[in-house]
Amino acid sequence: MKRSMHCVLVALAALFLVCGTAGADMLQQFAGQKGKIDIAGGTAHIPVMNEAAKRIMTANPDIRITVEGGGTGVGVQKAGEGLVDIGNTGRALSEDEVAKYGLVSFPFAVDGVTVILNPANGVAELTAAQVQDIFAGKIANWKEVGGADAAITLYTRDEASGTREVFWEKLLKKGAIADKANVVASNGAMKVAVSQDAQAIGYMSIGFVDAEVKAPKLDGVEPSQDNAKSGAYKVARKLFMNTKGQPQGLTKLFIDYVTGPECTDIISKAGYIPIK
């Protein structure tokens, strides 16, 4: 009996040792490496990319990682033209993009896209039909959806944005977006614009929602990452890293790190759902 218990304890100790060192091994892969990784594209990715880069460069100062935004379109173009090592997109690549550039995709997180309002707005819930009519310009005053008697200010993203594409396809059902809508360049810029305009409506990654803006329920469903994961909230997408051809060297190590077990805490902290 004692021998059996001893064997069990030894096995458990070995298991804990393996689990405890697995994460550390991911950063150890960068030991002795030198070079630079340039990343650009989707702005929803930036918090994850920055934190991963910080950890890697702290572990090995001989590695330099730059992270820029610009949106999904920029990620596709710059990766495809060899201007960056990794191009981030907030949607899957099209067949044309893959054929044109020879890009390879690596999903690492699931993210919901939500309507956002100014916290001063009294509207707590909208239907998908109401959102479609608001962005088409058919509903132009908040009183038509239970709010104050005030003109609605529309904010949208440019057509190269992955966030816009998901919102347009999955919530607007490819319906019109009024020409009067103000165009902003990123999730961060969207949050600033809506937080400073009491009559504003826009949309952005759920991972960017904080006290500066509010996300109304959509058809009675809370726009949360848990609901996106369960499928209860339908306006969701994957976040991708993309490379021109199969990644090599430092770029491959970086992608392996972000998609590995050690980065799940970074992804969760950024408000996204890690893809295992």
CB-side neighbour CA atoms (13 Å) of 166 = 27
Residue 24: its pLDDT value, please?
A: 54
CATH of 34-109+239-274, picked from 3.40.50.1370, 3.30.1950.10, 3.40.190.10, 3.40.50.920, is 3.40.190.10
Tell me the C-alpha distance between 120 and 265, whole Å.
33
Name the helix (H) or strand (E) containing 69: strand 63-70
**Same fold? 34-109+239-274, 112-236:** yes
Per-residue pLDDT at 45 exceeds 60: yes
Residue 160 binned pLDDT confidence (cut-offs 50, 70, 90): confident
Per residue in 4-38, pLDDT (tens digit) is 434 333 333 333 333 333 445 789 999 999 999 99
CATH of 112-236, picked from 3.20.20.70, 1.10.10.10, 3.30.1300.10, 3.40.190.10, is 3.40.190.10
Residue 229: its pLDDT value, please?
A: 86
Residue 7: its pLDDT value, please?
A: 38
3-state secondary structure at position 73: helix
Per-residue pLDDT at 119 exceeds 50: yes
Per-residue pLDDT at 118 exceeds 70: yes
* β-bridge pairing 182-184 and 103-117: unpaired
Tell me the C-alpha distance between 201 and 76, whole Å.
28
Q: How far from 112 is each of 22, 69, 120, 191, 255, CA to CA, in Å?
A: 30, 19, 23, 15, 22
Residue 269: its pLDDT value, please?
A: 93
- Beta-carbon contacts of 167 under 8 Å, excluding residues fewer than 6 positions away, are 113, 157, 203, 235
Q: Please, are residues 214 and 121 in contact by the beta-carbon 8 Å criterion?
A: yes
- As given in the structure block, the two tokens for residue 225 are 């990452």
Domain boundaries defined on the chain: 34-109+239-274, 112-236
Residue 227 burial by Cβ neighbours in a 10 Å radius (0-12, 13-18, 19+) = middle
Alpha helix ranges (H) inside 60-160: 72-80, 95-101, 128-136
- Beta-carbon contacts of 190 under 8 Å, excluding residues fewer than 6 positions away, are 116, 155, 157, 184, 202, 203, 204, 208
**pTM higher than 0.85:** no
Residue 262: its pLDDT value, please?
A: 93
